[in-house]
Copies of this chain bind each other. A is one copy, B any other.
Amino acid sequence: MAAPVELRVRASGGEYPIYIGSGLLGEADYLLPHLGAQALLVADAAVADFAGAIERACSGRGQFGRLLLPSPVAKTAASLERIYTRLIEGGYSRDCTLIALGGGSAGDLVGYAAATYQRGVDFIQAPTTLLGQVDASVGGKTAIDHPLGKNLIGAFHQPRAVLIDLATLDSLPERELRAGLAEVLKYGLIADADGFFDWVQGRARDLLGRDPGALAEAVRRSCGIKAEIVQADEREQTGARALLNLGHTFGHAIEAWQGYGDWNHGEAVAAGLVMAADFSWRSGRLGLDDAVRIRGAVEALGLPSAPPAGMQPEDFLRLMGRDKKNRAGVLRLIVLNGIGRAELIADPDPDLLHQTLAAGGGLARG
């Protein structure tokens, strides 16, 4: 294989690498240096082939176990319990390493297991979806869901390495590919390094067509932006990291309203990006032309640019009130002061917010 791109992320516990390349997961060189004497690979059963490649690459090096979880991986207490039980029964000690192979859910779940087993063991992120590669795998956020809400139980726990094998994208369902592109577009909106937003908009067809060069570039630049942000605010304390939530306050409300069964995360975020642009325009922060460009880019990626039919402003307000970014009951929102210039604000103007919610990100109907 060609040598992978390597990015590095500084974190309180030490620096860790992100490797981006095609065929990585079969290469011992990128796996073994990060493994302890005992390793447990926990994988989404849908990517069992890649699990086999990892296992072959690691063969003969200490204790190596494999646990396949039913696909799609559920970020539940029950899944967590399966991992704990396997670790305990297998005699895994505190110097073991977990490998999380699968989408963002697998990464969040296995990362959280690593954060809490024996008060913390090492883990490696091996994301196999575009969404996981550009978002969940970098930055150390781990979590499971609670029956009363998503991601409510979790920890910050940095991986020892992130192995992004672009070959995993070949078999990714079309709809999941688009979901990942919503997050890619988000990076162009919050940090327009070298005109990344324009680049994404211009290469929309290539990205949807899985052009390997375009996808590699999208992953590299997205991870680079995310790495910059998370190393500036590892534990979400300064507000810098909150910018990564652009579009997510609306998006999470959409997902919750649908009961997490209809749109996927990226689709909900896509509509949320347009709504954030709409609110930014209504509050005089963003030009109408830029807001319209954002909507156009979302649509060019085949993603929804408005909330689901039937969802009312009251639904949004009720569900947005539960957002983890909020402080002491005050709503916080990420807005755009221009493309590539995001800002966290507290207590957004309720009238303007209501207009955005009523217009459904419509931009022209306010």
Contacts and interface: CB of A to CB of B under 8 A. Distances in A.
Interface of A: 12, 36-38, 62, 77, 81, 84-85, 88-89, 91, 93-95, 115-120, 141-143, 146, 148-149, 152-156, 235-236, 322, 324, 326-329
A188 B235 CA distance: 38
A327 B120 CA distance: 14
Given A84-B152, A88-B148, A328 B116 contact: no
6 contacts: A93-B327, A94-B324, A94-B327, A119-B154, A119-B156, A119-B324
Contacts of A117: 152-153
A120 B141 CA distance: 11
When all copies of this chain in the complex are counted, the total is 2
Given A38-B328, A84-B146, A88-B146, A155 B93 contact: no
Contacts of A62: 328
B93 A326 contact: yes
Contact of A154 (B37, B116, B152, B326): B116
B156 A328 contact: no
Contacts of A153: 84, 116-118
Contacts of A118: 152-154, 324
A115 to B, nearest CB: 7
A88 B149 contact: yes
Contacts of A81: 77
Given A95-B327, A148-B88, A328-B95, A143 B155 contact: no
Contact of A115 (B93, B143, B155, B322): B155
B120 A156 contact: yes
A36 B143 CA distance: 23
Given A120-B155, A154-B119, A324-B118, A89 B148 contact: yes
B77 A324 contact: no
Given A84-B146, A149-B88, A155 B328 contact: no
A277 B301 CA distance: 70
Contacts of A322: 91
A115 B156 CA distance: 10
A120 B237 CA distance: 11
Given A85-B148, A88-B149, A120-B155, 16 more contacts: A12-B12, A37-B328, A38-B328, A77-B77, A77-B81, A89-B148, A91-B322, A93-B324, A93-B328, A95-B328, A117-B153, A118-B152, A118-B154, A119-B156, A119-B236, A155-B155
Contacts of A89: 148
Contacts of A156: 119-120
A88 B150 CA distance: 11
A241 to B, nearest CB: 11
A119 B327 CA distance: 15
A12 to B, nearest CB: 7
A62 B328 CA distance: 10
